[in-house]
Structure 1
Amino acid sequence: MNLHQLRFVQEAVRRGLNLTETAKALHTSQPGISKAILELEEELGVDIFARHGKRLKRVTEPGQQVLKSVEIIMREVANLKRIGEEFSLQDAGTLSIATTHTQARYVLPEPVAQLRKRYPKVHVTLHQGSPEQVARMLLDDVADIALATESLADHDDLVTLPCYEWQHVVVVPAGHALASVERPTLEQLAAEPLVSYQAAFAGRRRVDAAFAQRGLTPRVVLEAIDSDVIKTYVRLGLGVGIVAEMAMRGETGGDLVARPAGHLFGSNISRVAFKRGAYLRHFVYAFAELLSDRLTRALLERAMAGGGERYEL
């Protein structure tokens, strides 16, 4: 038994049991992967995969148990690498952050800049995607830390903590009729064409739920994942925008007017997440502390150790 065999099994499952894709991902040959998996099954005395000819069809019941052990082993191997990097490089290394566009554009610039001042030898990599993709990047060890509003708390293998609270705002051109309304109503918004986020992004489900509860059907004419795109189409007169409040920072006095919508859609909580059981380097802790005053290293260490406290805001 060796790490290559375990890695092949793990990657085969990640690639939907497609050995061709697995071989491409691991830069090796498909026959080599098939042979290694068969040798591992022979050594263990169980079939990890059910087959149809040479194709893998599904994971067997004993295979499910094997996969759980493989995940633990590979996670600890990754931890060993991080420990080595920690003590050999000290203040150097790579911080990989998985997040959504809105977080990357409006929330992370200042914390990233502060981290780079404190740790100039640390290279920062940003990976952007949907909230579910952000969670998956953390689970697949692509990222060290993740920040998003949706999806992170849905995964048992992630340790998630609330980072900060935010609300939506209604955005219109300066000359729009709603620009003079301090507290727009759901009925007023339902009468307008709307431009907002796609369903999986930036609290959109909370927006839809508010209209549904009132028995209203909003007329959404354009959906996007990018706050800047939404603002662009609002400027063009396509409709009234509903965006995260941080997307309007620095827009005061310009051609767009923002009105608070927390009274309509409530509050949202963006969460920070780490893979359960992962070893966190000291600059990862430092970056988390820069994201929020409440995210102290002591709090994070308790959470990662499985502390039973409630961490909600």
Structure 2
Amino acid sequence: MNLHQFRFVQEAVRRNLNLTEAAKALHTSQPGVSKAIIELEEELGVEIFARHGKRLKRVTEPGQHVLKSIELIMREVGNLKRIGEQFSAQDSGTLSIATTHTQARYVLPVPVAKLREAYPKVNVTLHQGSPDQVARYIIDEVAEIGIATESLSDYQELVTLPCYEWQHVLVLPQGHPLAKKERISLEDIAAEPIITYHPSFTGRTRIDTAFAHKKLEPRIALEAIDSDVIKTYVRLGLGIGIVAEMSMQGDDKGDLVVRPLGAIFGQNVARVAFKRGAYLRNFVFKFAELLSDRLDRNLIAKAMSGHSNDYGI
């Protein structure tokens, strides 16, 4: 057996048992992938996949156990590579970060700049997507570290730690009737057309939960994944906006009124995530420390060693 066979099995599962797609992803031929998997099954004496003709239909029970072992082996192969890079390249290489649009736009620029200052030989790659995509990037080892608000703690394959708290804010055009109110209620907001995040982004779950709790039907006029898009449509008069408070940092045009909504929607927690059991290079620890003064190397190492899955803010 060899690592190529293990990669073929993993990729077949990732591609929903489609060997043609697995072969494309691995830049090889479909017959080659099929043959390698069959040879591995023959060597192990078990069927990893149940088949209908030549097509894979499902992972068998022994196949589930084989997949778990392959996952461990491939994870340690990745760790070996990172250990080699750590000690041979003298803190150079690439840091791959998976994150959402809001984090990439408003939170990460300063930590990334400080990391490049501390490690000038390190290149940074950003992979942006939904929180679930962020989790998948880390699990598939496309990225070493992930930052998002939603979903990351739902994955057993990840070690997650709270990074910082933030709240939503209401953004209104100058002269809007709500801008004159000292206290804005959820009922006030529900009566207006609302422009806010897509349901899977930037704490939208808290917004929906608050309306549902009071049995209110919000008038969602527009959904977006980018805070700047939301603010643009608010400026055009399409409705009032609900955005993350960090998206208003540096927005000094003076044409929007901002009201905090923490008392209505509560506090959100941005989380940092790593793949469980992964070897973290020095600059990965450093970047995490730059993200939040609540994070340090010892805390992260303790969490990665399995002593805890979470630490409170």
Identify the TM-score tier after normalising by the shorter chain: over 0.9
Say which SS state the counterpart of residue 221 (structure 1) adopts: strand
Deviates further, 51-60 or 302-311: 302-311
Say which SS state the counterpart of residue 80 (structure 2) adopts: helix
- The answer to whether the Cα contact below 8 Å between 2:159 and 2:309 also exists between their aligned partners in 1 is no
Say which SS state the counterpart of residue 254 (structure 2) adopts: coil
What corresponds to 1:116 in structure 2? Answer: 116
Q: Distance in 1 between matches of 2:99 and 2:310?
A: 24
Q: Is 1:94 paired with 2:94? A: yes
What corresponds to 1:53 in structure 2? Answer: 53
Which residues of 2 match residues 1-313 of structure 1 at below 5 A? 1-252=1-252, 254-308=254-308, 310-313=310-313
Aligned-pair CA distance for 1:251:
2.3
Q: Distance in 1 between matches of 2:282 and 2:47?
A: 41
Root-mean-square deviation over aligned CA pairs? 0.9
C-alpha deviations, 1:256-282, integer Å up to 9, x for none? 111000011000000000000000000
TM-score (norm 2): 0.98
TM-score (norm 1): 0.98
Show structure 2 runs of 5+ residues with no match: none
Aligned-pair CA distance for 1:253:
5.8
Q: 1:309 to 1:39 in 2, by over 3 A?
A: closer
Q: Distance in 2 between matches of 1:181 and 1:138?
A: 44
Query: Counterpart amino acid of 2:241?
Result: G
Q: Which runs of 4+ in 1 moved over 4 A?
A: none
The alignment of Structure 1 onto Structure 2 pairs a total of residues equal to 313
Q: Distance in 2 between matches of 1:309 and 1:57?
A: 35
Identity %: 73
Q: Distance in 2 between matches of 1:291 and 1:151?
A: 19
Say which SS state the counterpart of residue 167 (structure 2) adopts: strand
Aligned-pair CA distance for 1:312:
1.4
C-alpha deviations, 1:272-308, integer Å up to 9, x for none? 0000000000000000000000100000000000113
- The answer to whether the Cα contact below 8 Å between 1:50 and 1:57 also exists between their aligned partners in 2 is yes
Say which SS state the counterpart of residue 273 (structure 1) adopts: strand
Aligned-pair CA distance for 1:309:
7.5
Deviates further, 251-260 or 16-25: 251-260
